[in-house]
Amino acid sequence: MINTYTAKYTKISSGYMGQIIEWPEIITEGKDLEECREMIQDALKEMIEVYRQQNWEIPIGRGLIEQVPVEI
């Protein structure tokens, strides 16, 4: 079964930080966006494996991120 999760990437001084919105425990960093994407994919796969081994409920994906405009 394929499920999708929502990744948020933030530029930081050392590169990028990535986080899965529906699964806040999954946070990683990479020197560039591509490395961060790879690392978040690996972290997500590893977390799913741990949850399966422990027979824990895997969080459901399919979150929605939208930008909200506001005048400042």
Distance CA 28, CA 14 (A): 12
Cβ pair 32, 47 in contact under 8 A: no
Q: Look at residue 68 and tell me if it is in a domain.
A: no
Distance CA 29, CA 51 (A): 22
Domain of 25?
7-54
Query: Following DSSP, what letter does each residue of 12-49 receive, concatenated?
Result: ETTEEEEEETTEEEEEEEESSHHHHHHHHHHHHHHHHH
Distance CA 63, CA 4 (A): 8
| pLDDT value of position 1 | 73
pLDDT of residue 61 exceeding 90: no
Q: Look at residue 39 and tell me if it is in a domain.
A: yes
Q: Look at residue 13 and tell me if it is in a domain.
A: yes
Confidence category of residue 2, pLDDT binned at 50, 70, 90: confident
pLDDT in tens, 17-34: 999 999 999 999 999 999
